[in-house]
Amino acid sequence: MIHARIEPDLKSDVEGVFHNLGLTTTEAIKLFFRQVQMRKGLPFAVAIPEAYYCANQADVSAGLCRNLEVNQETKEALEATDRGEGLAVFETTESFFAHLDSECEK
């Protein structure tokens, strides 16, 4: 027997999908377990959808993250840092924090 805590909204949405597939929640869980057993792993690829993640800053700047909305000011700032513009280098963390403190005082 398995007991799992599932968010009510997630449970409701997923049970609706199972219903449309003609499955009960128990049948869907058994199906999942059988697939894991047969495949010796998950029966699907696990990945972070593009809407939540972009591989690197170059992809963002190039507009390759279709679902990631970046406003123009942010896009320009990211492009500038990709070119090495407007970057500050600090030898120590103390000098970095001193710089931040002076910027906050402005």
Answer yes or no: is 12 within a domain: yes
Number of domains in the chain: 2
| Domain assignment present for 48 | no
For residue 79, the model assigns a pLDDT of: 85
* Residue at 23 is within a domain: yes
pLDDT at 17 exceeding the cut of 90: yes
The percent of the chain in helix, strand and coil, each rounded to the nearest 5, is 55, 0, 45
What domain range is 24 assigned to? Answer: 8-39
Q: Would you say residue 31 lies in a domain?
A: yes
- 44-62 pLDDT per residue, tens: 988 766 555 565 666 666 6
Q: pTM above 0.75?
A: no
Domain annotation covers residue 3? no
Count H helices and E strands in the chain, helices first.
Answer: 5, 0
In a domain, 63, yes or no: yes
